[in-house]
Amino acid sequence: MDILNFKDRLFNKGREYGFSDMELYYQSNGKFSTKIFKGEVDSYNLAIEGGVSFRGIYNGQMGYAYTEKINEEAISFLLEEAKENGKIIDSEDSEVIFAGSEHYEELTLFSEELASISADEKIALLKKVEAECFALSEKVSSVNYCLLESHDTEKMIANTKGLEKHERGNVVYTYLSVVVKDGDDIKSAGKLTLSRNFSMFDPIQLAKEVVDEALSALGASSIASKEYPIILKNTAAASLLQTFTSAFSADNVQKGKSRLAKKLDTTIANQLVTIVDDPFLTEGFMSRSFDSEGVATKRLQIVEDGVLKTYLHNLKTATKDNVESTGHGTKSSYKGTITVAPSNLYINPGQSTYEQLVENEPEALIITDLQGLHSGANPISGDFSLAANGYLVKNGQIERPVNQITIAGNFFTMLEQVESIADDLTFGLPMGGYVGSPSLKIKGLAVAGE
Amino acid sequence: MFQKSIIQDIITAALSTGGDFAEVFIEDKYNTNIALVGGKVENSISGRDYGIGIRIFQGLNSVYAYTNEHSRDKLIAVALEAAQAIKGQPINLNLSFNRQTFTNQHPIIHTPREVPKSKKVNVMREVYDIAKNYHELISQVSVAYKDEQQRVLIANSEGRFVEDERIRTRLAIQTVATRGNEMQTGSYLPGAHKGFEFLEQIDLQHYGQEAARIAVTMLNADECPSGKFPVIIDNEFGGVIFHEACGHGLEATSVAKKNSVFADRIGEQVAPSIVSYIDDGTLANEWGSANVDDEGEPTRRNVLIENGILKGYLIDKLGARRMGTDVTGSSRRESYKYAPTSRMTNTFIAPGKSTPEEIIANTEFGIYAKYMGGGSVNPATGDYNFAINEGYIVRNGKIAEPVRGATLIGNGPKTLQKVDMVGNNLAHGQGMCGSVSGSIPANVGQPMIRVSEITVGGRKGN
């Protein structure tokens, strides 16, 4: 069914139901993914998927409903469900249907060249990556994930206030994970690479990076429990920042679920720290010219030289604080309600190289990998205690790999204890925001080991 | 739900290029999510997930395609496109479906869609009040309600044709306790393979109060010391340790390709003889239960470890092909968007002989984990980590002061060997388990157990 035609009939029928303002959100994805195992195509997945989400004001309250079955009966299903959902809302903060912003940035998020890469070319890349991993070392016992996924996403938002916006984007990512074995010692390492430019995927470099990292972890052991100066490698720093970005959400601030409440225009981090949210980033997984409420997005300095300048807002939280929406009204998909989430959020890179951070340390711990972020870190209190891997540094040199330790601290305290920032910005797994960080030198964190 | 002849045509199209097995999974699911924050219903969304997954095997190669399209022509086109990934000659297929029927092991009293949303909200308000009024330090309470009614039809080229309905209801109570600049949280998330009757049957007082009590207790707790200690883990959600530490390593997902530390070890002593570990998808109306798995195979009770000896794995169809064994009724997926694979259902340590009182009394110094948080494991190495949500120091055989911020880390197979006491109070907790086939409801369970030594990471130092 043609989606614009569906929209018109839905809105007409919606008026009969008694809805005042209404909105239709549509998303469709074409997906391809494949995985190689021992030179063979181990899995090959195709998808054409999509769905619509309806929301509308009924008796002053916003009701939501969605469906993945877009047919005739979907119209009355959506209206009936949204009406029933609207009826039980008793929150005083009313949501609105948005008429549109004055100006929207023009973004190129779709690459024709990327779309033209065939499945065979993608498979050939993965086969090369896998073969290269085994060729690099006899200790590589298994390449447990050698996969590629490509997405082509189209979204539309249209409402009865005259707004109609479309956006299309595509992206490819690979995930490589290898297992190395030396006697009884087993270690693994993995890496996600994401781009809109297929030539960015260099099989030899990718294999080398991951295999080297896994090999360098062989022989790891724990270390004595005490406080160590910490060099948080960019990947680990990005995953930690990701866990705590919810503290910047005005929604959490207003609900008493953020430690950053009442901290606007105060110093919350070392003055070296600047945190940016950039929805226009060329290689950003979450780049967008409008948010899920139709509000134009913009580049934002959340923390500037250590000072908290703004929270992230959607229309509802902005009204409550008497400010303008920052364009962070976000739906995880058509199945979600409007929340607040970052687009591409990162700590600004500094001047030093990662090597410089290391070479100045008489004794320090490099943390390359953190586990259990969904359970061992509390986004509200900021406290974390996480399993970690890394290397022990003595006299500016890596002495040996370290595992079976935890590092513990408080994220908000840690921001104040950033002592230097490297120039190696990298991004983590996109989960409710695409979050990045350079490597960070932290004054000290409690380490539990032996 | 769907005409047999259309399914037959899809399977025939899927096998047109030499595949030796094809399967169709049709899902039609209604969901409701209601969120109550600070005493007000803030949002409510309901909707319908609908889609079809088509899977083709050729030997150990597998192809999976899914779509929300529902017309015969579009579905055949998707099947043909998927089949292009397979290269060979079509095998002669004499397809006739044999409809499998079974007695529903998980009867439902009140189908969620037939219960007015206002009744659901009333329960949410009731538990909100219980938690909010528990203590003056409770500054925020959020209650989330979720129900789902999932109908599935699974048919394959071996003639299987089976339909099942899974209805699940869950309540998530989350609290924040605040004093000055300090905040601590508590939560309880009970759920079951039941309809609205679940909320009528459970003790709301218990769940609401516990969620609040955890936050207040942790606000008054000192930082946990770090080091290696005996750790006592209580029953119910405490079972998450073995879910992570060995459950994932027993799934064909990692065993079949020998990416698990438990691969090729059937018959070996992998745990002390007091430990038996079971996965049982048949438990009536439990959170991780279903009549059939997502390949249409009846669920069953799988003994994984019996008196310390490794007895079996959890095996899906593709894993079975790779391993040359039979399936175990353990193939699961979040939705039609995922090819199914071997997963846990309701997994638990069987009850032992010690009473919880004996276990505590026998511990001179250690950590008692009353409630566990989540965790994760690297199946290749067996290294796991997870968080303690409510912990205490045990001193001279008595539970002493509360401690917070503790994380347990270790190696699954090694921790398993160090279980030295198993209690008699088996109970289950509910969780969402994430892996390659998505996020699925799974029970974890155990009686109280003691591990002689685990590395505890806290902020206090040692």
Task: Quick: pLDDT tens for A134-174.
Answer: 999 999 999 999 999 999 999 999 999 999 999 999 999 99
Q: What tokens were used for A268?
A: 């919350």
A64, A71, A374: residue with CB nearest B45: A64
Residues A156 and A253 in one domain: no
Query: What does the pLDDT read at residue B94?
Result: 78
Q: Which chain B residues in 59-118 lie under 8 Å from chain A, judged by CB atoms?
A: 60-70, 78, 81-82, 85, 117-118
Chain A residue numbers with beta carbons less than 8 Å from the beta carbon of B35 are: 337
Residue B1: per-residue pLDDT: 62
Euclidean distance between CA atoms B298 and B164, whole angstroms: 10
Alpha-carbon gap: A101 to the closest alpha carbon of chain B (Å): 25
Can you read off the two tokens belonging to residue B261? 């530390």
Cα separation, A356 vs A358, in Å, equals 5
* A328 and A376 belong to one structural domain: yes
What's the length of chain A?
450
Residues of chain B with CATH 3.30.2290.10: 4-220
Cβ contacts (< 8 Å) between A404 and chain B: which residues? 383, 409-411, 455
One domain, residues A43 and A144: yes
CB contact B387 to A (< 8 Å)? yes
Domain of A189, CATH number, reads 3.30.2290.10
Task: Say if B267 is an interface residue toward chain A (CB within 8 Å).
Answer: no
Task: Tell me whether residues A48 and B69 touch, CB distance under 8 A.
Answer: yes
Instruction: State which of A168, A192, A211 marks the end of a domain.
Output: A211
Same domain as A229, residue A193: no
pLDDT at A315: 96
Chain A residue with minimum CA distance to B383: A404
Angle made by CA atoms B434, A292, A331, in degrees to the nearest 5:
20
- Give the three-state DSSP class for A438: coil
8 Å CB contact between B277 and B334:
no
Is B5 part of the contact surface with chain A (CB cutoff 8 Å)?
no
- Residue A87 belongs to what domain range? 3-211
Note whether B459 contacts A227, CB cutoff 8 Å.
no
Chain A residue numbers with beta carbons less than 8 Å from the beta carbon of B337 are 47, 49
Q: Are strands A140-159 and A164-182 parallel, antiparallel or unpaired?
A: antiparallel
Distance between CA atoms of residues B246 and B306, nearest Å:
14
Q: Which residues of A touch B69 (CB under 8 A)?
A: 48
CB contact (8 A) between residue A448 and residue B456: yes
Distance CA B396, CA B403 (A): 17
pLDDT value for B462 = 53
pLDDT tens profile A106-117: 999 999 999 999
**Residue to substitute from B151, B336, B388, B407, interface A, most A β-carbons within 10 A:** B407
Do A198 and A282 lie in one domain? The reply is no
Residue A402 distance to chain B (closest CA, Å): 13
**Does the beta-carbon distance from A256 to B178 stay under 8 Å?**
yes
Are the C-beta atoms of A358 and A396 separated by less than 8 Å?
yes
Alpha-carbon distance of B299 to B323, in angstroms, equals 20
CA separation (Å) from A414 to A231, A342, A437? Answer: 12, 21, 14
**Beta strands in A160-296, from DSSP E residues, in sequence order:** 164-182, 185-195, 226-232, 275-277
Element (DSSP H or E) covering residue A448: strand A440-448
Class assignment of domain B4-220?
alpha beta
Find the closest chain A residue to B81 by CA distance: A46
Q: How far is A353 from chain B (nearest CA, A)?
A: 30
Phi-psi label, residue A374: left if phi above 0, alpha if psi -120 to 50, beta otherwise: alpha
Please give the structure tokens belonging to residue A378. Answer: 């509390």
Claim to verify: residue A380 and residue A438 sit in the same structural domain: yes
Q: pLDDT tens track of chain B, all 462 residues?
A: 678 899 999 999 999 999 999 999 999 999 999 999 999 999 999 999 999 999 999 999 999 999 998 899 999 999 999 999 998 888 877 788 888 888 999 999 999 999 999 999 999 999 999 999 999 999 999 999 999 999 999 999 999 999 999 999 999 999 999 998 888 999 999 999 999 999 999 999 999 999 999 999 999 999 999 889 999 999 999 999 899 888 999 999 889 988 888 999 999 999 999 999 999 999 999 999 999 999 999 999 999 999 999 999 999 999 999 999 999 999 999 999 999 999 999 999 999 999 999 999 999 999 999 999 888 888 778 889 889 999 999 999 999 999 998 999 999 899 999 999 999 999 999 999 998 999 999 999 999 999 999 999 877 755
Judge if A151 and A263 occupy the same domain. no
How many Å apart are CA B329 and CA B279, to the nearest integer? 10
Alpha-carbon distance A80 to nearest alpha carbon in chain B (angstroms):
10
Q: Which residue of A has its CA nearest to B319?
A: A42
Record: contact A67-B50, CB cut-off 8 A = yes
Global pTM reads 0.92
CA–CA dist A178, B52 (Å, integer) = 33
Half-sphere exposure in the Cβ direction for A450 (13 Å, CA): 6
Both A175 and A231 in one domain: the answer is: no
- Which of A178, A211, A244 terminates a domain? The answer is A211
Answer yes or no: do B60 and A44 touch at CB < 8 A. Answer: no
Which chain B residue shows the shortest CA-CA distance from A143?
A: B259
| Regions of chain A with pLDDT less than 70 | 1
Helix count (H) and strand count (E) of chain A? 11, 20
Number of structural domains chain A divides into:
2
